[in-house]
Structure 1
Amino acid sequence: MSDRPTKGRMRYLTFGVRLLFTAGLLGIALQTVDLELIRSGLEADLGFALMLSFSLLLFALALSAIRWVLVCNLTGIKLSTLMSGAIVLIGHFFNQLLPTSFGGDAMRGWCLWRQGTTLKKAFASVLLDRLFGLAALLMLVVGGLPLLAIRLGTNLPFYAAGGILAAAALGLFLLLNLHGAPATLRRRRFWPLFERLSVHARNILSAPTEIAIIMILSLVAHASALYTTALISNALGAPLTLTDALLIVPSVLVLTALPISIGGWGVREAGLAGGFALIGLDPGVAVTTSILFGAVNILGGVIGGLVFLAMGSPKPVTSEDAS
C-alpha cells in the first residue's frame, strides 16, 4: 500500500500546526500593539520611514540577485542579472506565504530550472547562495554578541559566540567532505545533490575575490534590515540605535528561518519584543515595528507575485532530471 496519502496528511498536519503556532504568537504579540502610536506616527515621520524601508527592501533584493549571479557563475550556470532579479522577487513572494525562507528557495530553484538549467545545478546554486547569506547573518550575530555582553555585564554572550563559531567551522568541514560520507548515506536518493554541493563548495573556495564580494553583498543586504528596524522604531518614538539593532535583529532573523511559523510571522514579533525588553525599550513598540516591517515585505512580495504570474508555464522535464 502506498504511503503517499499518509505523507500528504502529515504535510497538512504540519502546516496546520505551524499556522496555529503563528496565529498564537501573533495573537499574544498583538495585545501589545498601540494603534494610537501608529496613528500619531503616520502623522509624523512614519510614512516617510515606510517608503524608505520599502526602497531599502528593493535594494536588498537587488543585492541578493547580484550575489546569486556570482554564485551561479562559480557553479557553471549562466544567469543574467535581470533574470536573477525577477526570480529573487518571486522567491520573496513565496517567502511571505510558506514556512521559512526555504519555500522561496525551492521556487527559485524551480524558476532557474525553467530557464534551461538542470535541477541538480539549479538547487545546488540556490543552496550555496542560501549558505552564503546565512554565513553573513551569523557573522553579524557573532559581531553583536560581545557588545551585548558588555551591555548586560555578563560573559554568556561570549560563550554563545564561541559556540556559533565552532558550529560554523564544523558545518563547513562537513560540507567540504561530503564525498567521504558512509555508504549508508551515499545510497540515499538525494545524496548526489549534496555531493554536487560539496564539489561546488570546494571549487568556490579557490576564488577568494568572488567570495569576498559575495560576503560583502550579503552583509550589506542584511544591514539594510537592521537600518529598516531602527528607522521604523525611531519613527514610532523608540530610540533604537544601529548598535542596538545589531544586538537584536540578526538573531531574530535567524529565528525566523526556523520551520516553525508561516513567513516568520509571530516569531519575528516575539523575538523583537524580547530583544527590546532586554535593552530597556518598549516591547509594544517592537511588535508594532515588526508588523510594519512585515507589511513592507508583503508589499515587496506583491511585486514578486506579479512577476511570477508573468513568467509563463514551465518547460518539459529533461532526460537528466527524469533520471
Structure 2
Amino acid sequence: MAISPLLRIGFTGLLLGLLMARFGEAVLARLLAAQPTWLALALAITVAQTLLSAWRWRYTARRLDLPLGGADAVGEYYLGNLVNQLLPGGVLGDANRAWRHGRTASGLSPAFQAVVIERVSGQLAMLGAVMIALIHWPAEPPDWRHYAGAGTGLLLVLATGGWLGRVHRPDDQPAWLARWRHAVGQALLQRRVLGVQLATSALVVASYVAVYACCLLAIGIEAPASVWLPLIPLILLAMLIPLTVGGWGLREGAAAAIWPLAGLSAEQGISGAVVYGLVCLIGSTPGLLTLLRR
C-alpha cells in the first residue's frame, strides 16, 4: 500500500520534532560554530559527486543505445537530486529524470530502464560499503550473523542475474521481462560493464562518505576518524528508506541511535546529520538552473 505524501511529511516533522526537543539546543550551538572551510570542501565534493553520477547515468544510457549529452546528464541529475531533496519518498527526482529523458530519447521505457539500472549499481556499491563498515565496527565486534545473510543474499542476486543474462528462453517469459532482462544484461551484468559500473558507483559512495566526513569535521568532532568513519555508511543506508522527505528525520534518528554505540554523544551524531542534510540540499540547488533553462 502506497504511503501518502502527507504522512511522509508528517513523519518527517514528528521525528525531527522529537529529536530537536531533546537535543535542539546542543545541536544549534554546534551548527552555529561550524567551520566554513570544511563546509566549502563538502560542497565542492558534491559537485564532483554529481558529475560522476551523471557520467554513470550517461554510460548506462549509451549501453542501451539511448542518446544523452554530457551537459544534459549533469543538469538533469542536479534537478533530480533537488526534487529528491524537496519531495517525499526520495525517488520522484529519479522518476522525473527518466521521464524528461524519455521525451527526448527513443521512448520512456528504455529511459526508465537506464535510471533504474544506474541506481541499482549505486545500491550494490552502498551494500559493499556497509559490509566494510560492519567489519571495521569501532566498538565490540559485530555478530557475523547480522550481516552474513545480507552478504549471501547479495551474492545470490549477482549470481542469479548473471545466470539470467546467459539464458535465452524468450518464449517462456513475458515480453516486458525479456526487455528488462536484456537491458540489465547489456547495461550492468556483462563482465566489463559490471566492473565499470561498480568502480564508478564505489567512487560515488566514497564521495558520500567524504562529504559526511567534512560535515563532521566542520562541527568539530573530537573522536579519531577510525571511530566515526565506519558509522557513516550505516547512516547513509538509513536515508534510503523512503519514508520521509530527503531522508530528514531518519538520518538524524539513525545517528542518534548509532553514535552512542561507538561511545560518541548522540547530539554530536545528530549535528553531523543535520549539517550533511543542509549541504546536500544546498549542493542540489543548481537543479533550479535546469528548470529555468527548460
Q: Which TM class, normalised by the smaller chain length?
A: 0.7 to 0.9
Instruction: Check 1:288–1:153 CA distance in 2 against 1; reply closer, same or farther (3 A cut).
Output: closer
Q: 1:153 aligns with which of 140, 147, 153?
A: 140
Report the AA paired with residue 16 of structure 2.
L
Trace 1:64-213 onto structure 2 (pairs within 5 A): 64-148=53-137, 151-156=138-143, 158-173=144-159, 175=161, 177=164, 186=174, 192=176, 194-204=177-187, 207-213=190-196
Report the AA paired with residue 196 of structure 1.
R
2:32 corresponds in structure 1 to 39
On the 8 A contact 2:43/2:279 being kept in 1, the answer is yes
For the residues of structure 2 that align with 1:80 and 1:105, how far apart are their CA atoms? Answer: 17
Number of residue pairs aligned between Structure 1 and Structure 2: 288
Report the AA paired with residue 102 of structure 1.
V
Summarize deviations over 1:42-68 as a string: whole Å, max 9, x none. Answer: xxxx11111111111111111101111
Instruction: Check 1:244–1:23 CA distance in 2 against 1; reply closer, same or farther (3 A cut).
Output: same
For the residues of structure 1 that align with 2:6 and 2:195, how far apart are their CA atoms? Answer: 41
Summarize deviations over 1:146-190 as a string: whole Å, max 9, x none. Answer: 111xx333441x223311112223333555649879x8x94xxxx
Q: 2:230 aligns with which of 240, 247, 252?
A: 247
For the residues of structure 1 that align with 2:195 and 2:224, how far apart are their CA atoms? Answer: 27
Would you say 1:257 and 2:244 are equivalent positions? no
Summarize deviations over 1:196-241 as a string: whole Å, max 9, x none. Answer: 2221222345643333232222112211221222222222221355
RMSD, aligned CA? 2.6
2:205 corresponds in structure 1 to 222
For the residues of structure 2 that align with 1:132 and 1:256, how far apart are their CA atoms? Answer: 17
Instruction: Check 1:237–1:210 CA distance in 2 against 1; reply closer, same or farther (3 A cut).
Output: same
For the residues of structure 2 that align with 1:219 and 1:269, how far apart are their CA atoms? Answer: 24
On the 8 A contact 1:70/1:210 being kept in 2, the answer is no
1:28 corresponds in structure 2 to 18
For the residues of structure 2 that align with 1:297 and 1:85, how far apart are their CA atoms? Answer: 16
For the residues of structure 2 that align with 1:167 and 1:63, how far apart are their CA atoms? Answer: 28
Question: Helix, strand or coil: the match of 2:105?
Answer: coil
Report the AA paired with residue 165 of structure 1.
G
Question: Helix, strand or coil: the match of 2:114?
Answer: helix
Report the AA paired with residue 221 of structure 2.
A
Question: Helix, strand or coil: the match of 2:66?
Answer: coil
Q: 2:216 aligns with which of 223, 230, 233?
A: 233
TM-score by length of 2: 0.88
Question: Helix, strand or coil: the match of 1:302?
Answer: coil
Identical amino acids, percent of aligned pairs: 24
Instruction: Check 1:96–1:137 CA distance in 2 against 1; reply closer, same or farther (3 A cut).
Output: same
For the residues of structure 1 that align with 2:160 and 2:183, how far apart are their CA atoms? Answer: 14
On the 8 A contact 1:136/1:215 being kept in 2, the answer is yes
For the residues of structure 2 that align with 1:154 and 1:67, how far apart are their CA atoms? Answer: 35
For the residues of structure 1 that align with 2:241 and 2:188, how far apart are their CA atoms? Answer: 27
